[in-house]
Amino acid sequence: MISSRAVKNRLEMFCVIYVDMESSTYNTACLRPEDYSLYYAAFYDTLSDISRQFGGRVIKHVGDALIIYFPATSDTTNTDAFKSTIDCGMAMIEAQGPLNTSFLEENLPSLSYRISGDYGRLEPIETQSSPSVDWIGPSMNMVAKMNRMAKTNTMVVGGDLHQILSKLSTQEYLLEFAGELNIGIKQKYPVFSVTRKITNNGGLTTERTDNTSTSKVQIAKNSNTASLDINNNSIPNIVIVDDEHDILTVYKEFLSKHSVNVEIFADPVRLLGRLAEVGPSYYDLAILDVRMPKMSGFQVYQILTALKPSIKTLFVSALDYAGEVLAGLRGIEREEDFIRKPVSRENFIWAVNRKISLYS
């Protein structure tokens, strides 16, 4: 019979977050033991380091999940501690891009995860079966259950934490109702998604000018990205990847008279770094050259769809790929998803318009 005892007699309330890897069993099934260890160690170590920067402490590793609590949130008047909890979750999401860049260099599969957070009771206990202190409490159970309600590479919070956050001045975050969790009682538990309202990273600045959804976005110029002023949040974001700079310039010019935000990359690895700045759901359409030296357009496609399954894709190629090759790529259709080289302006615009309407 296992006995246990509470480390303290007094129950305390804390913020706790739960980070769960997606499809880890599938991703690691074919890895060598040493690569398997590297894959998980990079995930654990990177997110653990981030949590410490924001005052979090790792409670435990649970399979492919990480549980972290924030001691300073025991003081409900410490508004900075509660904000740090959300800042921590957002920093972890933004670390996903650099993590995948490192994995790519090591020929490891890309990584996605979901984050859930809440506020509630936690109690440290000691058991005969464990040499270290364990933790129990309703909030631990809640964050594990609500995690599935988060979309890939996003964060959700429970109703108790949302109630506290709604009283704080967290102007950079938008909390929106995401659904309700059935917890076995008549009244269901509300869950809210968390996203940034204002971004100021890597030259990208979003500035709200009034109470409408209108904003101004300026993208820093460099040799790999295009610059465009955006006056409406609904304008589609398009990324074009081709190892030939001249072709990128031509494709960008094709779209210059249409209401779209275009970014161009000659190096796919630079694109991964950009995703770390703007978030995995930023792009609506990817236009990819099939044959590139560092990685093929198909490999870039697999990374992008792992980050955002709903992203639309066009491949540009002079080659006639066999149907069986395309059949191995989820969501790819022979005619609908290819632009044949040489590319004319008319054919390019027609193909893009078929994916995202340029004339609405």
Comparison of pLDDT for 199 and 254, the residue scoring more: 254
Bridge-based pairing state of the strands 12-21 and 113-127? antiparallel
203 within some domain: no
State the number of CA atoms in the 13 A half-sphere of 33 facing the CB.
0
360 within some domain: no
Bridge-based pairing state of the strands 338-340 and 312-317? parallel
Q: Can you tell me the distance from the alpha carbon of 78 to that of 82, in angstroms, rounded to the nearest whole number? A: 7
Comparison of pLDDT for 60 and 195, the residue scoring more: 195
Say whether both 120 and 262 belong to one domain: no
Say whether both 42 and 191 belong to one domain: yes
189 within some domain: yes
Q: Can you tell me the distance from the alpha carbon of 28 to that of 64, in angstroms, rounded to the nearest whole number? A: 11
Say whether both 220 and 335 belong to one domain: yes
Q: What is the pLDDT of residue 136?
A: 65
Q: What is the pLDDT of residue 128?
A: 57
Q: What is the pLDDT of residue 213?
A: 30
Percent of the chain with pLDDT over 70: 74
Percent of the chain with pLDDT over 90: 19
Convert the pLDDT of each residue in 156-210 to its tens digit.
Answer: 999 899 988 887 766 678 888 989 888 766 678 899 999 887 544 333 333 332 3
Comparison of pLDDT for 202 and 220, the residue scoring more: 202
pLDDT tops 50 at residue 226: no
- Provide the CATH number for the domain around residue 247: 3.40.50.2300
pLDDT tops 60 at residue 48: yes
Round the average pLDDT of the chain to a whole number and report it.
76
Convert the pLDDT of each residue in 115-137 to its tens digit.
Answer: 999 998 876 666 555 545 566 66
Say whether both 51 and 153 belong to one domain: yes
Q: What is the pLDDT of residue 101?
A: 84
Name the region of 107 (left: φ>0; alpha: ψ -120 to 50; beta: rest): left
- Report the range of poorest mean pLDDT among 78-82, 310-314, 318-322, 327-331: 327-331
pLDDT tops 90 at residue 24: no
pLDDT tops 90 at residue 291: no
- The C-alpha torsion from 338 through 341 and 345 to 351, rounded to 10°, is -10
- Please list, in sequence order, all residues whose beta carbon lies within 8 angstroms of the beta carbon of residue 175, skipping any fewer than 6 positions away: 157, 162, 165, 166, 192, 193, 194
Of 168, 196, 224, the residue at which a domain comes to its end is 196
Q: How many domains does the chain contain in total?
A: 2
Q: What is the pLDDT of residue 322?
A: 39
Tokens at 119, concatenated? 């506020």
Say whether both 189 and 57 belong to one domain: yes
Q: What is the CA radius of gyration of the chain?
A: 23
Q: What is the pLDDT of residue 211?
A: 30
- Report the range of poorest mean pLDDT among 23-27, 148-152, 291-295: 23-27
pLDDT tops 60 at residue 215: no
Judge whether 79 and 167 are in contact, CB under 8 Å.
Answer: no
Q: What is the pLDDT of residue 281?
A: 84
- Provide the CATH number for the domain around residue 17: 3.30.70.1230
Judge whether 118 and 126 are in contact, CB under 8 Å.
Answer: no
Question: By residue range, what is the domain housing residue 170?
Answer: 4-196
pTM (2 d.p.): 0.52
What is the average per-residue pLDDT within 261-287?
Answer: 87
Convert the pLDDT of each residue in 319-357 to its tens digit.
Answer: 655 344 454 454 455 566 888 888 889 989 999 998 888
